[in-house]
């Protein structure tokens, strides 16, 4: 969809105001294509890391394997809450887990995190 198509949908007062700007300074460019769709994987990633606790968990798991009890202790939060957030992170592929006996250990998947950041960068910067 082009900006000119959006302009046509405005009421007369808005259209007149925008056209004054176009005449005066050339912005916005009317023939430019705009794409309002956003990749849903990018949205899910940003929602996940916008939670301070999930962000802190990823930071803790950046360079080592840790179990829920150690993550819980480090962050001063209940193990059940930590497990809930780890499930969310795991569902996006941001952490991997390893079972040793009855213990589960987790570590951040840096390659997945990097992939998501590249996806977001592409959405926002067009790269």
Mark whether 54 and 27 lie in a shared domain.
no
d(CA 106, CA 62): 10
Mark whether 24 and 74 lie in a shared domain.
no
- For 58-91, b where at least 16 C-beta lie within 10 A, e where not — what string? bebbeeeebbbeebbeebeeeeeebeebbebbee
Q: What is the pTM of this model?
A: 0.84
Mark whether 110 and 62 lie in a shared domain.
yes
- Ramachandran quadrant class, 51 (left: phi over 0; alpha: psi -120 to 50; beta: rest): beta
Query: pLDDT tens digit string along 1-38?
Result: 899 999 999 999 999 999 999 999 988 888 999 988 99
Closest CA to 95 of 50, 119, 64, 118: 64
pLDDT on residue 28: 87
Query: pLDDT tens digit string along 97-123?
Result: 999 999 999 999 999 999 999 999 999
């Amino acid at each position: 969809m082009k900006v000119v198509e959006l302009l046509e949908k405005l009421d007369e007062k808005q259209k007149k105001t925008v056209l004054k700007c176009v005449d005066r300074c050339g912005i916005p460019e009317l023939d430019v294509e705009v794409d309002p769709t956003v990749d849903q994987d990018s949205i899910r990633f940003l929602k996940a890391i916008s939670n301070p606790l999930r962000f802190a968990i990823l930071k803790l798991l950046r360079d080592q394997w840790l179990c829920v009890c150690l993550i819980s202790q480090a962050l001063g939060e209940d193990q059940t809450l930590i497990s809930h957030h780890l499930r969310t992170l795991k569902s996006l592929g941001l952490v991997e887990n390893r079972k040793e006996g009855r213990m589960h250990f987790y570590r951040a998947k840096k390659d997945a995190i990097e992939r998501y950041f590249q996806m977001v960068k592409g959405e926002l910067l067009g790269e």
